[in-house]
Amino acid sequence: MRIFIESKKQELNAIIIAHYYQLPEIQEIADFVGDSLQMARQAARTEARVIICCGVRFMAESAKILSPEKTVILPDIQAGCPMADMITAEQLRAMKADHPNAAVVCYVNSSAEVKAESDICCTSSNAVNVVRSIPEEQPVIFVPDRNLGSYVESQTGRKMIRWEGCCPIHDVLTLQDIETQKKLHPDAILVVHPECPPAVCRQADAVCSTGGMLQYIKSSTAKEFIIGTEEGFLHTLQQNCPDKQFYLARAGFQCRDMKYISLEKLTRAMDSMAYQIEVAEEIRKRARIVLDRMIAIN
């Protein structure tokens, strides 16, 4: 399978980009592995003709919005993001009508239609700076993740109008889980994703996107870490920091959607060129502006 994928990649002039939550074998065969912001940046700058996105639908959509002239393939069309599905463009329009002066910040985990209704997008790695870029006196609508929104509020001291969405995978991490892991590993540093509940984030030594966690852990002198995010990321950490120990904050910390992509499906996708992601041009143009603004902010 690996030989087929490598030769097909040359034939198609394709690049395989993967998220840190992907299966180890997918991360290993990918040309680029990163967090959502790094994947979007890679999709915007690649010279390949075909982008194969090993992640979930909003990531492939973002790649298409940024590189419309390229063929963007998601190896399994079922791979969505339940959080992104928690708000529709219509619901966001209603929220805007209630707060006509507000700037709309949408988390990249959202549909192209929701992005098109927003002013600026963010990922978990630049959400705080994105909100800081909005004039102090202007109200901010933040969608769809209430937990990331709450984390941004804690860092900026700014109250926002938040949508009540959440990641069903991160939102179920509890203080009890943390206590259990801390008892087992008393010297470990706790690092969590901002999609976790606020009470858990408050207990953490660091709250960062997956890319931010990797940087933080690489530069830390500590040897043990409790990780509050999806299990696929442990593979990335073990590859990058073989001298450190990692413990998942709770058993079964797995995003089913991220795991829809397998080597078999990747092979099939490269053979059949399915599933191609399309975004209606009118939506794409508006969403592009919103993503470009996000990419400009670190």
Nearer to ligand SF4, 104 or 169 (CB): 169
Nearer to ligand 13P, 58 or 102 (CB): 58
214 binds, among ligand SF4, ligand 13P, none (CB under 5 to 8 A by kind): none
Question: Which of 56, 102, 108, 112 lies at the binding interface for ligand SF4 (CB under 6 A)?
Answer: 56
Nearer to ligand SF4, 9 or 55 (CB): 55
Answer yes or no whether residue 61 interacts with ligand SF4 by CB under 6 A.
no
2 φ/ψ sector (left φ>0, alpha ψ -120 to 50, else beta): alpha
209 binds, among ligand 13P, ligand SF4, none (CB under 5 to 8 A by kind): ligand 13P
Task: Extract the tokens encoding 145.
Answer: 């993740």
Bridge partner list, 225: 189, 246
Nearest to 234 by CA among 220, 254, 206, 257: 254
Answer yes or no whether residue 36 interacts with ligand 13P by CB under 6 A.
yes
**Residue type present at position 193:** H
Answer yes or no whether residue 108 interacts with ligand SF4 by CB under 6 A.
no
Positions of E strands within 193-260: 206-207, 224-228, 245-248
> Could you give the CA distance from residue 295 to residue 160 in angstroms, rounded to a whole number?
22
Nearest to 49 by CA among 276, 267, 261, 294: 276
Question: Which of 124, 126, 147, 181 lies at the binding interface for ligand 13P (CB under 6 A)?
Answer: 124
| CA gyration radius, the chain | 19
Answer yes or no whether residue 62 interacts with ligand 13P by CB under 6 A.
no
Nearer to ligand 13P, 5 or 65 (CB): 65
Question: Which of 143, 209, 237, 290 lies at the binding interface for ligand 13P (CB under 6 A)?
Answer: 209
Question: Which of 17, 112, 121, 169 lies at the binding interface for ligand SF4 (CB under 6 A)?
Answer: 169
Q: Alpha carbon of 208 to those of 117, 148, 184: distances in Å? A: 27, 10, 23
CB 115 within 8 A of CB 65: yes
Contact region for ligand SF4 (CB under 6 A) — 80-88, 89-97, 146-154, 262-270? 80-88
Provide the 8-state DSSP code for 263.
H
Judged by the rule CB under 6 A, the positions of this chain that interact with ligand SF4 are 56, 81-83, 109, 167, 169-170, 195, 230, 255, 257-258
